[in-house]
Structure formats: structure tokens, C-alpha cells
């Protein structure tokens, strides 16, 4: 009979042989891509933006720092950071606040890389995830809690998905509870604003939406994440076309939608104003862009 000490020594040797450098996490082994440091910002934009500040792409205030990223071209931000868009009646609508409840951010791994090569990250089904929940302010690019810096395997990325609160079988917020059938019943995106005084008395409103399919950002040619720099990823929703086909001024008829005790008219879900909530949701879901900002090199 083999002595116990010799037996366990042999077993330990076998385990170490199978856990050599090529099996270690985070690209430490041969053939594994190195891990890269990444920051991400999620912002409202317009197709006429002259470029958001670099600080915004790293979660800072859009009012600080030199210009960054890419022009996206007709509508520009107001001096106070708000956006003025037009509804289908031509009325000016000022967007003052946009927040999204994000449960998880999924990066689809580059071609040729799977979760076996991405150990040291939260990876499942060829997607590396940054798990929340986060409340993301699309006017400033900031999130609560802060996203900070996270790590991804180096490579060419083409698709990022946002799983929003309540739309993939769970929730962490009281306002995002699931329905009895497992579907989300509460809002995960809130847009606040006011009407332009040129069309009569100013009406203050809140649009509360459930983006039940989440948000997907795709760049067919891809964007490269490199291990030798701090990579800045910028996701944007262009607000210009959000009210396409929607007479929001008509929807805010105070007889049909009385203001609450704070003087705010609340419109919620897909069905508000004869299905205009669904139209708004589809317009938003089709407005996303993703690109790299300016990377910081050590």
C-alpha cells in the first residue's frame, strides 16, 4: 500500500501540472490575451455635437476638460447642458435630465476569444460582464455607484449590450419590480423636461419608460481594446430623433394628464398617449452609437 504522504504528494504534483501558466487567469498563460484597463461612459448626444469633453468619456462632467470624441451633426446642447428637440408638431421640447437603470453591461468577446481565455473576469457565453446595478446619468456621463476602471481581454470588440433593471429576470430597485409573468412592470429609463414657453404655458413632464429589450450598441468595423493604455469607451444615444412621429405637446394636454402635487405631468409605459410610449421607446432603441474616446497611454 502506498504511504499517505507519498499519495498526497503525487496528487499535488498532478494538480500543479494542470494549473500551469497556460491555465492562469487574466492572460498570464501562453496564448491568453492580456487584460486591458477600460473606462466607459454612457451619454446623451446629438448628431451635431462638436465633440464631448474628454472628461465626459471617463465619467466626468461634460463642462470640464478639452474637447474629445467625435462629432455625431443639426442639434447642439444648450448652454446649460440641456437639449432642445422638436416633436412632430414642431414644438420645442427641452430635455433636462435622462437617467437609465443598468443591471449589467455585456461586452461580446472578440473573435477567437472565449471565456476560457478571459478568466479573471466575469464571463459567460462569450460575453464579459460588468455587473451593477448602476444609475447612469446620460447628461453628465456619471453613474452611481461609479463604474470606475474594469478589465477586458485585449482585442477587437464589435458589440456591447446593456441589460437594464427589471428586463432580464431580476431587479435591485423598488421601482423596477417584475410582474407576475416575469416581465418588468416598472420604468428603467426616466426622461425629464419642459415645453418651450413659445407655445404657451410651460409644462414640466417626466417620461417613464421600460426598455424591455435593453439597449444594444454595435460597431461593425469594431473598436480595439489595447493592453498598453487606459481605454475609454463611449456609448451615446442621439436624442435628435426621439420625438419623431410623436406630438408630445398634444400628449401633455393638462385635461388628459393632470400634473401631480409637484406640478409634473407623468407619462409612463408603452401605452401612453395612444401608444406613443412604444414609438418613443423604439426611437430610443435605434439611436445608439459606440466608439472609442481618447486613450491614455502610460
- Considering Cα of 122, then 124, then 128, then 134, what sign does the dihedral take? negative
Please indicate, yes or no, if residue 73 is contained in any of the structural domains. Answer: yes
Is the distance from CB of 152 to CB of 225 less than 8 angstroms?
Answer: yes
| Percentage of residues in the chain having pLDDT higher than 90 | 59
What torsion do the CA atoms of 141, 77, 157, 170 make, to the nearest 10 degrees?
Answer: 50
Q: What number is the average pLDDT over the span 202-217?
A: 95
pTM over 0.85: no
**CB-based contacts of 32, cutoff 8 Å, min separation 6:** 22, 24, 26, 117, 119, 153
- Average pLDDT of span 44-61: 49
Residue 298 belongs to some domain of the structure: no
Strands 143-144 and 155-164: unpaired
- Can you tell me the mean pLDDT for 21-29? 38
Q: Residue 221 sits in which domain range? A: 28-292
Question: What's the mean pLDDT in 101-118?
Answer: 91
Decide if 18 is inside a domain.
Answer: no
296: which strand partners?
230
13 domain residue, yes or no: no
Would residue 133 count as lying in a domain?
A: yes
Indicate if the pLDDT at residue 121 is higher than 80.
Answer: no
- The answer as to whether 164 is a domain residue is yes
Instruction: Flag whether pLDDT at 157 surpasses 80.
Output: yes
Does 11 reside within a domain?
no
pLDDT at 7 over 70: no
Q: How many CB atoms lie within 10 A of CB 34?
A: 14
pLDDT at 117: 78
Average confidence (pLDDT) over 115-133: 86
Inside any domain, residue 87: yes
Give the model's confidence band at 30: pLDDT under 50 very low, under 70 low, under 90 confident, else very high: low
**Number of domains composing the chain:** 1
Amino acid at each position: 500500500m502506498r504511504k499517505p504522504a507519498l499519495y498526497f504528494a503525487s496528487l499535488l504534483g498532478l494538480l500543479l501540472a494542470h494549473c500551469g501558466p497556460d491555465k492562469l487567469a487574466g492572460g498570464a498563460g501562453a496564448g491568453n490575451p492580456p487584460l486591458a484597463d477600460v473606462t466607459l461612459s454612457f451619454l446623451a448626444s446629438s448628431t451635431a455635437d462638436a465633440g464631448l469633453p474628454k472628461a465626459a468619456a471617463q465619467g466626468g462632467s461634460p463642462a470640464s476638460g478639452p474637447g474629445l470624441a467625435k462629432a455625431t451633426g443639426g442639434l447642439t446642447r444648450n448652454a446649460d447642458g440641456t437639449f432642445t428637440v422638436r416633436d412632430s408638431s414642431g414644438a420645442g421640447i427641452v430635455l433636462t435630465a435622462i437617467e437609465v437603470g443598468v443591471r449589467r453591461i455585456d461586452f461580446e468577446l472578440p473573435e477567437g476569444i472565449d471565456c476560457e481565455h478571459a478568466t479573471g473576469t466575469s464571463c459567460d457565453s462569450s460575453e464579459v460582464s460588468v455587473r451593477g446595478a448602476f444609475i447612469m446619468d446620460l447628461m453628465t456621463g456619471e453613474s452611481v455607484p461609479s463604474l470606475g476602471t474594469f478589465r477586458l481581454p485585449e482585442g477587437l470588440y464589435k458589440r456591447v449590450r446593456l441589460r437594464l433593471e427589471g428586463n432580464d429576470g431580476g431587479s435591485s430597485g423598488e421601482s423596477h419590480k417584475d410582474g407576475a409573468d416575469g416581465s418588468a412592470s416598472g420604468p428603467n429609463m426616466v426622461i425629464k423636461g419642459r415645453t418651450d414657453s413659445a407655445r404657451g404655458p410651460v409644462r414640466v413632464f417626466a417620461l417613464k419608460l421600460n426598455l424591455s429589450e435593453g439597449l444594444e450598441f454595435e460597431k461593425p468595423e469594431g473598436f480595439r481594446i489595447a493592453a498598453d493604455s487606459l481605454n475609454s469607451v463611449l456609448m451615446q444615444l442621439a436624442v435628435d430623433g426621439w420625438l419623431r412621429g410623436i406630438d408630445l405637446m398634444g400628449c401633455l394636454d393638462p385635461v388628459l394628464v393632470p400634473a401631480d402635487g409637484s406640478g409634473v405631468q407623468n407619462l409612463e409605459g408603452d401605452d401612453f398617449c395612444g401608444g406613443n410610449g412604444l414609438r418613443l421607446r423604439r426611437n430610443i432603441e435605434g439611436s445608439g452609437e459606440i466608439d472609442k474616446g481618447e486613450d491614455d497611454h502610460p
